[in-house]
Amino acid sequence: MSDILEKILAVKCDEIAALKRRASLAALREQALARGAARGFARALHDKVAAGGAGVIAEIKKASPSKGLIRADFEPAWIAREYEQGGAACLSVLTDRQFFQGHDDFLKAARAACALPVIRKDFLIDVHQVVEARAIGADCVLLIAAALSKAQLNELHGCARESGLDVLVEIHDRAELGQVLDAGLGRDWLLGINNRNLRTFETRLETTLDLLPLLPAGCEVVTESGIGAPADVARMRAAGVQRFLIGESLMRQPRPGAALAALIA
């Protein structure tokens, strides 16, 4: 099967070049500062879990490379309010255009429609993208280990923290876990374990469960992808995983908020 991630990153290089032509890093930093303080993304998850609930990052996603169009009646503001009412702790909004039919405006609309903190879900490989994330209103950024070297992880993590953003570092296998731990990022980040292989898009919940014994004590884990039934949530929570990123299964429902509430009841 073709390497989807490689194709996406090639497009990102072109997008970054265009971004740099539109705005300098200094200009983006001014826009980011004008946003004021970010909403606490990691704190929102922590508080939900501390209260005994499942800490859900509910995803707003129109399409994907593997599944095509997921939701035709796509209104980010309405979906955000649905998720907030359904018990989400945070939102995830896809901003990648070519492969996921996302847009920066979707993030802006979703965040303005509710009080939840929002992560920019995209493929970030340059500091310009990280600062831009805060400039458009994101409270957290995703750093995908499969797309980054240890040096890049350190650089983008540092840039995110300087910009007031929380960080979700994503892995999907043992090698990527080792890469992230060796990068020495400190403790102020969340670890996402993606059950979907970004090179083949195959999904296995066992990906998270198999990696749990290898994690350092105190690691705040978010299991991502493939959570579609209450039994999936119960299985993860029984294994000690209390944070979830859930999207596609909810986006296909007429009322995503009600679907979320039923999923985590």
| Active-site amino acid positions | 59, 61, 121, 170, 194, 224-225
Q: Helix/strand/coil (H, E, C) string of the chain?
A: CCCHHHHHHHHHHHHHHHHHHHCCHHHHHHHHHHCCCCCCHHHHHHHHHHCCCCEEEEEECCEECCCEECCCCCCHHHHHHHHHHHCCCEEEEECCCCCCCCCHHHHHHHHHCCCCCEEEECCCCCHHHHHHHHHCCCCEEEEEHHHCCHHHHHHHHHHHHHCCCEEEEEECCHHHHHHHHHCCCCCCCEEEEECECCCCCCECCHHHHHHHHHCCCCCCEEEECCCCCHHHHHHHHHCCCCEEEECHHHHCCCCHHHHHHHHHC
